[in-house]
Amino acid sequence: MTENTAHPAVDPEEHGRKVSDMFGRIAGWYDFLNHFLSLGQDIYWRYRLARAAKPAPDGFVLDLAAGTMDVSMELLRQYPGIRVAALDYSLPMLEQGKRKKLKNGRENRIFPVHADGRALPLPDASMDAATIAFGIRNIVPREEAWSEFYRVLKPGARLCVLEFGTGSRRVWKGLYNFYLDRMLPGVGRIVSGDEDAYRYLADTIRTFPDERSLAREMAEAGFGRVYHVPMMSGIVFLHVAEKPPSSGSAPAKP
């Protein structure tokens, strides 16, 4: 089920502005809280995401919802010859990453751009791989993001998505669900002073489609060879899909 079907009253433009403002408020705490709230597992998750991308050695990779550019940095670490288009709808997140991470030559390999995932400022069939980590939940409607990923990827290139599994499933005998409902907003409030941001995170995880539904969405957008890999008992999933080798810039209409 897609976001606009599940929430027909949501206005995409208003939703985008609210999400951008929210991430702008917590940009300074974002990296610390990522590491703290995941007990450091986010580093391994990003490693797996980048490893699955498999771009050409000198290719161009799209990192959408790049935030403070941790995924962009991991991509460059694993594939030193690539260039990364680091796109995000929240300019303060990108600015935070630029101040902390774009030095020692990295500024010549990573290109941060303020952009909307529903209308990517990239040419057709120009990317050798694409990644998005914990960002697809924030794009409404998701169909437009899948379509744009499909458009900008070269035939045969991979789309790799890192996302939480649905919070509606009981994990670790309900301990994870308790963490989402009670601990996550509380820790967010204490550390960053913004409980609403982490309440939003918990709510979007709880209502997010399960891994099979997300795989169907990607297949319906035209992608092939779609599969997913669970991590931490399904708390997080790595989704991988491929633009068919003989495809053009848009999937064929039925």
**Mean model confidence pLDDT for the chain:** 85
Asked whether the beta carbons of 213 and 205 are under 8 A apart, the reply is no
Q: What is the pLDDT of residues 111-156, one digit of tens each?
A: 999 999 999 999 999 999 999 999 999 999 999 999 999 999 999 9
pTM value is: 0.86
* Alpha-carbon gap, residue 62 to 44, rounded angstroms: 20
Task: State yes or no: pLDDT of 254 exceeds 50.
Answer: no
Bridge partner residues of 163 (DSSP):
237
Lowest mean pLDDT among 3-17, 34-48, 51-65, 68-82: 3-17
Residue 221 three-state SS: coil
Strands across the sheet containing 127-133: 110-114, 83-88, 60-64, 127-133, 153-164, 236-242, 224-231
Specify whether the CB–CB gap between 88 and 71 falls below 8 A: no
Phi, psi of 120 (to 5 degrees): -70, 135
Q: Model confidence over 176-190: pLDDT tens digits? A: 666 666 666 666 666
| Amino acid 110: pLDDT | 97
Checking if the pLDDT of 173 tops 60, the result is no
pLDDT of the residue at 250: 54
**Mean pLDDT along residues 178-206:** 70
Domains of the chain: 3-58+74-224 (3.40.50.150)
* CA end-to-end span of the chain: 20
d(CA 79, CA 56): 9
Relative to beta strand 127-133, strand 110-114 is unpaired
pLDDT band at 37 (very low <50, low <70, confident <90, very high): confident
Radius of gyration of the chain (CA): 17
